[in-house]
Structure 1
Amino acid sequence: MQSHTDFYLVYVTAADAHEALRLARMCVEKRLAACGNVINAIRSVFRWEGAVQEAEEAVLVLKTTGARLSALKDAIAAAHSYDCPCIIALRIADGYTPFLEWIAATAR
């Protein structure tokens, strides 16, 4: 594994598990992410259009590299049902080396 490769977890909220799964499949098929995990039925509280709202959503967690991050964010934003989707990238500080090598080999 090349030590200069940056790895990221990308946290995305979606309207439901179907949308999260669709986005995950799109990202993996395009090699923008090595894999995605869908967490169903979370409850979100947020301010939108001047009011506090609640909604049931799903979370998508993707694993990718720094080289693919920009294209990943663009693809999700273009395919997402929300006007302003939550797409947050968190740098992975450390991890199991064989798994990180797999991410590097898969998301390229």
Structure 2
Amino acid sequence: MDRLGSRCSLPGYLRPSVLICLLILTAAFLMYPMLRTLSLQLHSAITGSYVSGTHAIVFVNCPNEQIARDIARAILEKKLAASVNILPKTSSLYFWKGEIEEATETLLLIKTKTSKVLMLSSYIRLVHPFEIPEVFSLLVDQGEVHYLKWLEEGMED
């Protein structure tokens, strides 16, 4: 037995070197997502490529086009998004309070940074007339680099 192991007088205790290895592995495991994100951002900055998941498209249904326009303008003014498409007259069928409902709604396609989706969702809940507004997002996997750069510039404070 080596000298370090002989210092542990009680059987079943881990050697200090094993404890250190476990701590390092645990720290690496916990820090992996952050380190991965940082390395992807560094790679993106050096190569000019796009980091998948940096942007999102948020879908929001509104009861009519005027409310959709009002919400879209407010979102843009608050720099919560860089671009909003308004798709008028979408037909929606859904369950509401145990019944199948049918409505004509207006769909917003909101282009934003993933880091702003939570703030955007909270804001929409405050201003939206629906009791439970439809708000969900999809991550952008790939896109035209110049357009995505333009999106970034549109949301700068």
Give TM-score, length-normalised by structure 2. 0.65
Greater strand percent: which structure?
1
Deviations 1:50-104 (A, max 9, x none): 1101001000000000221111111111100001010011000000001100111
Alignment of 1:61-80 (within 5 A): 61-80=109-128
- Between the aligned partners of 2:56 and 2:102, the Cα distance in structure 1 is 28
Task: Name the aligned partner's letter for residue 129 of structure 2.
Answer: S
* Corresponding residue of 1:49: 97
* Corresponding residue of 1:36: 84
Residue 12 (str. 1) matches residue 12 (str. 2): no
Q: Is the 8 A contact 1:45 1:53 kept in 2?
A: yes
> 5+ unaligned residues in a row in structure 1: which ranges?
none
Question: Which of 73, 82, 87 in structure 2 is aligned with 1:25?
Answer: 73
Q: Based on CA coordinates, which of the two structures has the bigger radius of gyration?
A: 2
Structure with greater contact order relative to length (CA < 8 Å, sep ≥ 6): 1
Q: Is the 8 A contact 1:34 1:64 kept in 2?
A: yes
Q: Is the 8 A contact 1:33 1:64 kept in 2?
A: yes
Task: Name the aligned partner's letter for residue 47 of structure 1.
Answer: F
3-state DSSP class of the match of 1:24?
A: helix
Greater helix percent: which structure?
2
Residue 94 (str. 1) matches residue 133 (str. 2): no
Percent identity of equivalent pairs: 26
RMSD value, Cα: 1.4
Give TM-score, length-normalised by structure 1. 0.94
Task: Name the aligned partner's letter for residue 73 of structure 2.
Answer: R
Task: Name the aligned partner's letter for residue 92 of structure 2.
Answer: S
